[in-house]
Amino acid sequence: MSHSAPTAVTASSTSSSSSNSPSPVISPVSRPRSVERLVKGQATSDGAGVKLIRVLTQDLQHRLDPFLMLDAFGSDQPDDYIAGFPDHPHRGFETVTYMIAGRMLHRDSAGNEGLLQNGGVQWMTAGRGVIHSEIPQQDHGAMEGFQLWLNLHSSEKMQAPWYRDFQNGQLPQFTTPEGVAVTVIAGSSHGISGAVTRSITEPVYLDVHMPHGTRFEQQIPEGHNAFLYVYRGEVTVAGQTVPLQRMAILANTPQSDGLVVEAAADAKWILVAGKPLHEPIVQYGPFVMNTKDEIIQAMTDFRNGRLGERTE
């Protein structure tokens, strides 16, 4: 199977943009999903000591297939983030970094370089292997965002690496009649296509900002695994309160067609959903493959300097 080409949108679709911008299409949900359970992330550090919350941990990888990890980071204390993430390898999956606040410089062994800043997204397909760094470009102020790991199908794990960054203005955005502001990083919402699409995992990734007293409905394919994470305020899903800094795993209810969220006060949250791969997951640190032998090969290639080699 071939890797689907990403779709870039060069102008945002917001309520304040020109009249030629597409308008959201009302997409009602008749059989909404409920909350299966709430998850509190684990405080940890990664890279050169960056403090973060690991929300989607390794024990949830099969339940939330095709997603492997979600880290939430946020601090206005430079010592918590200043050392960043020096050179490190990846193989077998994709990373999606969403920077809510701050500035981070990406460089990798494939020759890509990009400055990730307020409201921007970096999408990197590690494929057969890449070595990259992510270094803060600030020595004060807040740095906040998320990094999501999205698995690749076995047929794609050894493809060539790929990279793209999107400034906030390049991400499709819209506002509902109630005033709910939505950024569509991947997939689609209310007829607005996201910045990136993938044909196999079909990921949906939204950032949703809800004013108090509003309601938001989002269609989700029945077979997708899905979760949301609240990073400001709190929301209610099918009568269940989802507090600040909690992940709500959404139940895979048969014949369900989406999600309904209500906010009594101002709230911000991300929604992540995708089509499961139903393949073996073997992870060793930054390598995620389907077999132990493939992991051993990845480690050997890294030790021998072959993992991040450029090939024409």
Q: What residue ranges define each of the domains in the chain, with the CATH number in brackets?
A: 35-277 (2.60.120.10)
Check if the beta carbon of residue 152 is closer than 8 Å to that of residue 202: no
Check if the beta carbon of residue 238 is closer than 8 Å to that of residue 215: no
Instruction: State residue 285's pLDDT score.
Output: 93
> Which tens digits make up the pLDDT trace of 253-271?
999 999 999 999 999 999 9
Instruction: State residue 235's pLDDT score.
Output: 98
pLDDT at residue 135 greater than cutoff 50? yes
- Per the document, the length of the chain is 312
First vs last C-alpha separation in the chain: 21
Confidence of residue 48 (pLDDT cuts 50, 70, 90): low
Check if the beta carbon of residue 116 is closer than 8 Å to that of residue 124: no
